[in-house]
Amino acid sequence: MKKFNIITLVLLLIVILTALVLFWDKTEPEMVDYFNFTCSTGPDLKIAYSVEGDRAILLFDEEEYQLQRAVSGSGARYTNSDESIIFWEHQGEATLEIDGSLVAEGCYLSQPNQPERSDILEYLESPYFLNPNNSQSDIFADYYQFGQEGEDLFLWVYAAEYYVENGQLQMGAASSGPIVLSVTGDGLSHWEPSSGSDYASSIENRFPVEYQSTVLNFETNESETLEGLMKAVENQAKIEMLITTENDISIPVGGRAYLGLDSNASTGYTWTATIEDEDLVEIVSEDYLEDRVTGLVGAAGIQIYEVRGLNPGTTTIRFEYRRLWESQQPEETKEVIIRVTEAAF
């Protein structure tokens, strides 16, 4: 009888504990207000923590994720059940990883006067910031944000001028280095460090101590980040200065045209090209460029085809937008007429 009672009691406790666990999982935790993070790479994000700090609600790229606090050697680390989503904050900087890919990094708590990314780029691409050498050139820029304090944003900026010569993109003057971008009543202004032997001391005098080492060693320790900025700038120059979306274009023999088609690689769709007469033109290269202004994961980009004229005549290139593993009709089609003319001497 006693043995039966003990077994019954154990089973009853198991049922009660299971019910409590299920109830806890379904109960919405009391949350504090959302914190807004502005990210150097990837879209901005919002996160709200529970009062106890054991759970969080993450808003990212128009999706909501329920996270729980996980063990971390340093900082605060929140994950979902299978750790396919990892939000990690350490010393004021946050990163977000989804399915093994880093989709947002260099994320800092947004300040009330944080300017829009588009406004920052507009300022950095003005002649006031970089004086071009060529009157026919345009300036393109991108930046990495170390952080912000009050009205000051601490950035590493890469800017370059580009122009088109004989149908080819050429680079002129370029600038790469740290600046302090300040938000004032009149708009934006910036400070640049001294050159030569005073460079390091000027950084130490103007940048917060937590950023100084990263800034002073940026070109060495953050070479991949810098290369990414340079590539983004070159790509934007291609988009704005070379690419055409016209359906009827002319190029000389030996000349090149850059055809741009709106695309979104994250959907699995891609453009394929078929040339009607391959004796007249050839496709030299094909590339996909992401939207550098929004930085949104899954945002639309542009697919670029570099076409070269071979012999005089008129032909058509047919483009089909489809998932390559699917056999149904293409989602979209486009035809571009290419007229190849005699080369001018």
Could you read off the pLDDT of 175-185 as tens digits, one per residue?
999 999 998 87
pLDDT at 73: 58
Residue 126 and residue 224 in one domain: yes
Residue 134 and residue 208 in one domain: yes
Q: Per-residue pLDDT averaged across 78-96, rounded?
A: 86
Min mean pLDDT across 83-87, 89-93, 161-165, 168-172 is at 89-93
Say if 228 falls within a structural domain: yes
Domain end call among 179, 212, 233: 233
Q: Name which residue leads in pLDDT, 216 or 345.
A: 216
Min mean pLDDT across 27-31, 67-71, 220-224, 258-262 is at 27-31
pLDDT at 176: 95
Residue 154 and residue 206 in one domain: yes
pLDDT at 180: 96
How many Cα atoms within 13 Å fall on the side-chain side of residue 181?
A: 27
Residue 124 and residue 228 in one domain: yes
Q: Domain count of the chain? A: 3
Mean pLDDT of the chain: 84
Residue 76 and residue 155 in one domain: no
Min mean pLDDT across 45-54, 220-229, 270-279 is at 45-54
pLDDT at 6 over 70: no
State which of 121-125, 133-137, 323-327 shows the largest mean pLDDT: 121-125
Q: Per-residue pLDDT averaged across 289-311, rounded?
A: 74
DSSP β-bridge partners for residue 17 = none
| Cut 0.75: pTM above it | no
pLDDT at 112: 64
Q: Per-residue pLDDT averaged across 123-132, rounded?
A: 83
Say if 124 falls within a structural domain: yes
Say if 2 falls within a structural domain: no
pLDDT at 1 over 50: no
Say if 138 falls within a structural domain: yes
CATH of the domain at 39: 2.40.128.200
Residue 328 and residue 252 in one domain: yes
Residue 268 and residue 196 in one domain: no
For residue range 318-339, list pLDDT tens digits in order: 999 998 888 888 999 999 999 9
Percent of the chain with pLDDT over 90: 43
pLDDT at 18 over 80: no
pLDDT at 308 over 90: yes
Domain end call among 74, 108, 142: 108
Residue 164 and residue 260 in one domain: no
State which of 67-81, 98-112, 294-308, 322-336 shows the largest mean pLDDT: 322-336
pLDDT at 215: 95
Say if 180 falls within a structural domain: yes
CATH of the domain at 306: 2.60.40.2020
Residue 72 and residue 89 in one domain: yes
pLDDT at 227: 92
Residue 256 and residue 210 in one domain: no
Say if 156 falls within a structural domain: yes
Enclosing domain of residue 310: 243-341
pLDDT at 31: 62
pLDDT at 131: 78
Q: Name which residue leads in pLDDT, 61 or 152.
A: 152
Q: Per-residue pLDDT averaged across 101-120, rounded?
A: 80
Residue 122 and residue 227 in one domain: yes
For residue range 257-293, list pLDDT tens digits in order: 999 999 887 778 899 999 999 999 999 999 888 765 5
Say if 9 falls within a structural domain: no
Residue 252 and residue 158 in one domain: no
Domain end call among 108, 132, 165: 108
